[in-house]
Amino acid sequence: MLNKLNQILWGTFLFTFPFSLRFVVYEQFSYRFGNFNPWVTGFIYLPEILLGVVFILWLIEKFRILHFTFRISWSWILLFLFIVNAGVITFLNGNLILFGFFALRILEAIIIYLLIVDQLLPPKTIIKILLAAASLQIIWGWMQWKLNHSLGLTWLGEAVVSSETMGVAKTDVAEGIKQIRPYGSFLHPNILAAYLMVIMFISLSYLKKYRLLFWLIFLTGGIYFTHSRAAALITLVGFGAIILFSFLKEIKIKRWISLITLIILILGNVWFFQNSYAVKITDTSWQERLEQNVISHNMFWQNPIGVGTSNFTLEMENFSADKLMPWNFQPVHNTYFLALNETGAQGLILLLIAIAIIFYRYWKTPPDGFLGDSNFIPLLVLVLIAPFDHFLWDSFIGIILIAITIGFFRTNINPESIESNL
């Protein structure tokens, strides 16, 4: 009975975690720049509370049947070192309360990973729940687009948006006419796009024939509809990787392609980190991102060990050549650069080692057939979209998407239990 109840609660969390139902519990620096700054504000989300209940009930069940084992691996050691490093740097240079919220999100990611790997709900059931939730978000976003404003569902966490609201993501449909981009219940269309992309690629190996075709069209359409150029590009790369890997039978060739992809990713990020000041783009949003890269570059060379978690926006005005307007105080739109600035070179190195280990273990003993390759793609698209935004680092949704992706990766590559290593 207890386990059945917990399965219902776990399924409810998986369906509702996109709902941005949150309340402020810490706001010491929130209005320092004139505009409200969510990046230095401590939020608690209602789905987090639900996740806490699920975890407690799961632990009670585990202790009741005396079936809970855990083995330490290099992956867990790296995660521990990463968190310790972030805590120490934040203690020295930042705010420990903000680090507490960051650490809480990491703990929640671990919990989600454990619940998926332990199969509190079967993977196929989770996929059905995630697809149903994604469908709701697409329909919700379409209605917002059709009306050109939000639906008034603030009690479900919907942001208040319209074509006249300042700071809302919009597109130009004609001279002087603005069309809002779909938000669903998310805080930004780019996060909605990444959410749909991750769910789509995770679901591929669980869908067959006509259902597969339907969901591919529906979810791809939803991603395109958000007007997230980064998500659209990475989605195409993901499909290209699936097609390419389906023709390649030699594991060694796949390993080399993966290695080359990672090398190109690293070199591309290094080049932009060093040369963003020289890149000229007329698009305003991309120019703002390049200016953030320059600030990130200057901040790193002044603070190579890091400025502390959630401290980027509090420090960025000290490294900008121009006076920043209140709306300019945003984290650098590159997860790797943000990790570098906030946890230092040593933090980014630990993060890259962890990514390399996951890739290595997959290509060391990859599963056979389509399941194996399609299982690898969600990890690949997350790694590739990280340079285009910061939500994977500093948002509740982003960290959950990482946890779900790694949980399914671990389940599919070696579907035994949490008794084995990550």
**What's the token pair of residue 141?**
């976003």
Rounded to whole angstroms, the Cα distance separating 259 from 360 reads 9
pLDDT at residue 123, as a whole number: 92
Task: Tell whether the model's pLDDT for residue 285 goes beyond 80.
Answer: no
Rounded to whole angstroms, the Cα distance separating 289 from 57 reads 44
Task: Tell whether the model's pLDDT for residue 287 goes beyond 50.
Answer: yes
Rounded to whole angstroms, the Cα distance separating 48 from 55 reads 10
Q: How confident is the model at residue 175 (pLDDT cuts 50, 70, 90)?
A: low
Rounded to whole angstroms, the Cα distance separating 61 from 53 reads 12
Rounded to whole angstroms, the Cα distance separating 241 from 223 reads 18
From the CB of residue 36, how many other CB atoms can be counted at a distance below 10 Å?
A: 12
From the CB of residue 247, how many other CB atoms can be counted at a distance below 10 Å?
A: 7
H or E element in which residue 242 lies: helix 229-247
Single-letter residue type at 364: K
Phi first, then psi, for residue 168 (nearest 5°) are: -90, 140
Q: Which residues, listed in sequence order, are joined to residue 162 by a DSSP beta bridge?
A: 149
Task: Tell whether the model's pLDDT for residue 270 goes beyond 80.
Answer: yes
Mean pLDDT of the chain: 87
- Angle between helix axes 2-16 and 46-64 (nearest 10 degrees) is 150
pLDDT at residue 157, as a whole number: 87
Eight-class DSSP state of 110: H
From the CB of residue 31, how many other CB atoms can be counted at a distance below 10 Å?
A: 13
pLDDT at residue 67, as a whole number: 59
pLDDT at residue 81, as a whole number: 94
Tell me how far CA of residue 231 lies from CA of 4, 175, 312, in angstroms. Answer: 37, 26, 24
Cβ neighbours of residue 128 closer than 8 Å, sequence gap 6 or more: none
Mean pLDDT of 381-396: 93
Of 222, 126, 136, 137, nearest to 186 (Cα)?
A: 137
**What's the token pair of residue 220?**
């791809």
Tens digit of pLDDT for each residue in 219-268? 999 999 999 999 999 999 999 988 888 787 777 787 788 888 888 989 99
Mean pLDDT of 351-356: 89
Eight-class DSSP state of 323: P
Tens digit of pLDDT for each residue in 179-226? 999 999 999 999 999 999 999 999 988 888 889 999 999 999 999 999
Rounded to whole angstroms, the Cα distance separating 104 from 100 reads 6
Rounded to whole angstroms, the Cα distance separating 422 from 413 reads 10
Task: Tell whether the model's pLDDT for residue 37 goes beyond 70.
Answer: yes
**By the 8 A CB rule, do 404 and 202 touch?**
yes
Eight-class DSSP state of 117: H
Mean pLDDT of 85-108: 94
H or E element in which residue 172 lies: strand 170-174
Task: Tell whether the model's pLDDT for residue 375 goes beyond 60.
Answer: yes
Rounded to whole angstroms, the Cα distance separating 358 from 198 reads 17
Task: Tell whether the model's pLDDT for residue 419 goes beyond 50.
Answer: no
Strand boundaries in 256-316, DSSP class E: none
Q: pTM of the predicted model, to two decimals?
A: 0.92
**By the 8 A CB rule, do 325 and 110 touch?**
no
